[in-house]
A and B are shown apart, each in its own frame.
Chain A
Amino acid sequence: MNEHLLSMHDVTADDVIRILDTAESFREVGTRVIKKVPALRGRTVVNLFYENSTRTRISFELAAKRLSADVINFSSGGSSVSKGESLKDTALTLQAMGADAIVIRHSSSGSPFQLTRWVRGHVLNAGDGTHEHPTQALLDLYTMRERLGRLEGLRVGIVGDVLHSRVARSLSFGLVKMGADVTLVGPATLIPPDAPQWGVQVSYDLDEVLSKLDVCYLLRVQTERQRLEYFPSVREYARLFGLNRSRVRLLPEGSLIMHPGPMNRGVEIDSDVADLPQSVIEDQVTNGIAVRMALLYLLLGGRHGDGGEAGDG
């Protein structure tokens, strides 16, 4: 494993398997009465969140706490983060406090890369701008493998605003790495023009694609005004790309419906579709904790830099 997790390009296919296998063990820990192990006792994990994302922050917080690490939450509200302190100064402060790992969520693409220049600890990307969200991709891979038994050859459609989606990037890179067949589906304005070079297919017709999918992965549609220059209306989007009851019937038996949340019910997904048995959206959340435990364990559980010496059993 690389010492940081900034992008899905930082992990090899073997790393992915190791992460998912390790997560499997942590799933078991999550079923215990005492859902906590002492593995990372004495380590400090900082959640540095420049964007509000309660679900991701809680998932990381729970993961770190279940590993017995100390957790500090540094969020954009009510800290120096909101008082105009630069990312670099914040990083140096966290460094001085002895952070062993920094989990960063930031609206600017590449911020986790920059953080690595200023801190010695491990950096985990919890979503940066429109770049990547590798832990989301890994928990999605975990969920697909758990439900469908494999990743290789899996046919996955990623539907929606791929252009602005960090989830779509990380998931596409991860799936392609694991030998899955990925098709990006959405309005042509929301598919990056060079996306085929990621090793994926592109389609603008959801109905044509659905019958050939093992997984239909829906992205959240941003409905802020600046996004609306890319398609005429939310109504037209929902008509062309929303997953409704009649479209679900096109999906092969046993295929999954996934969504990274939070959902816009009625836009990219109909409310009753989200609650269907093949929709594994809640599994994704549960698996998120195990996968993040695995990542923290694998990154922090090895010797880092010059700290420590060989084990002396």
Chain B
Amino acid sequence: MSRILGPDDIRRALARIAHEIVERERTEGLVLVGIADRGDHLALRLAREIATIEGAQIPVGVLDITFYRDDIGMTAEAPEVHETRIPFDITGRTVILVDDVLFTGRTIRAAMDALTDLGRARRIRLAVLVDRGHRELPIRADFVGKNVPTQLGDDVRVLVTEVDGEDGAVVQDGPAGRTIREAPAVAGQEESA
């Protein structure tokens, strides 16, 4: 297991992403939606950074994409459901979708479908702390904390103090030659994968 980000790396990455968002998207009509259950904490931190930079209060929502997953019925048990709380209308707004790790892209596909059902956003952007590659869908992040080259079977995990008691990101090597089909535990839609 190797550590790819420490607490300071995460703080600096989020600060940089916050600056980029403000620069490129402005703050008017901007909302942040974090994907449960790490992305929502990152979204709250980004909102605080933006508040520090611009003095603007950006609304933050949390989105659970479980009902939109494309592997329901394929896992032994029905995937666990988390809370969705988006106490504002996203229609006409710029939505920054926030997640911890971008991998296959399937989570983001599900999140966009979910957002579409919630309203007609003016535009949707994607911010992720770690992009580990191996996309299975034509999806690209607009804001990336760190690009990390990985093997397909590796397990990449972002830790946030709010959930895990510490900040950081780690890579656990997968067995050599392991294909993703044999590795159900690292499903791209497991938000921690």
Which parts of A24-54 form the interface with B (CB within 8 Å)?
24-25, 28-29, 32-34, 36-40, 43
Nearest-neighbor residue (CB-CB) of A310 within chain B: B184
- A301 touching B106 in the complex, CB below 8 Å, given contacts A25-B83, A25-B84: no
Contact between A302 and B81 (Cβ–Cβ < 8 Å)? no
Inter-chain CA distance A43–B67, complex, in Å, is 14
Interface residues on chain A, size class: 20 to 34
Contact between B74 and A309 (Cβ–Cβ < 8 Å)? yes
The yes or no answer to A311 lying at the interface (CB within 8 A) is yes
Shortest C-beta distance, A94 to chain B (Å), equals: 19
- A40 touching B64 in the complex, CB below 8 Å, given contacts A25-B82, A28-B83: no
The yes or no answer to A313 lying at the interface (CB within 8 A) is yes
Shortest C-beta distance, B78 to chain A (Å), equals: 3
Interface residues on chain B, size class: 35 or more
Residues of A within 8 A of B78 (CB): 297-302
Residues of B within 8 A of A307 (CB): 73
Contact between B67 and A312 (Cβ–Cβ < 8 Å)? no
Nearest-neighbor residue (CB-CB) of B190 within chain A: A313
Contact between B117 and A32 (Cβ–Cβ < 8 Å)? yes
Residues of B within 8 A of A36 (CB): 117
Contact between A312 and B184 (Cβ–Cβ < 8 Å)? yes
- A311 in complex: contacting residue of B74, B84, B118, CB < 8 Å: B74
The yes or no answer to B75 lying at the interface (CB within 8 A) is yes
Contact between B74 and A43 (Cβ–Cβ < 8 Å)? no
Residues of A within 8 A of B64 (CB): 25
Which parts of B42-96 form the interface with A (CB within 8 Å)?
64, 66-69, 71-79, 81-85
- A308 in complex: contacting residue of B74, B77, B82, CB < 8 Å: B74
Residues of A within 8 A of B68 (CB): 37-39
Nearest-neighbor residue (CB-CB) of A308 within chain B: B74
Contact between A303 and B81 (Cβ–Cβ < 8 Å)? no
The yes or no answer to A304 lying at the interface (CB within 8 A) is yes
- B84 in complex: contacting residue of A1, A21, A28, A310, CB < 8 Å: A28
Residues of B within 8 A of A21 (CB): 81
The yes or no answer to A90 lying at the interface (CB within 8 A) is no
Shortest C-beta distance, A312 to chain B (Å), equals: 5
Contact between A302 and B76 (Cβ–Cβ < 8 Å)? yes
Residues of A within 8 A of B82 (CB): 25
- A313 touching B83 in the complex, CB below 8 Å, given contacts A297-B78, A302-B78: no
The yes or no answer to B151 lying at the interface (CB within 8 A) is no
- One digit per residue, 1 when the CB lies within 8 angstroms of any chain A CB and 0 when it does not, for chain B 166-181 equals 0000000000000011
Inter-chain CA distance A304–B75, complex, in Å, is 9
Residues of B within 8 A of A301 (CB): 72-73, 77-79
Contact between B67 and A29 (Cβ–Cβ < 8 Å)? yes
Shortest C-beta distance, A20 to chain B (Å), equals: 12
Residues of A within 8 A of B107 (CB): 313
> Which of the listed residues A39, A298, A300, A309 has the most CB atoms from chain B within 10 Å of its own CB?
A39
Contact between A311 and B117 (Cβ–Cβ < 8 Å)? no
8 CB contacts below 8 A, A to B, read A32-B118, A36-B117, A38-B67, A39-B72, A301-B72, A302-B73, A303-B76, A313-B190
7 tightest Cβ-Cβ pairs between the two chains A and B = A301-B78, A313-B188, A313-B187, A310-B184, A311-B71, A37-B67, A39-B67
A contact residues vs B (CB 8 Å cutoff): 1, 21-22, 24-25, 28-29, 32-34, 36-40, 43, 67, 297-304, 307-313
B contact residues vs A (CB 8 Å cutoff): 64, 66-69, 71-79, 81-85, 103-104, 106-107, 113-114, 117-119, 180-181, 184, 186-190, 193
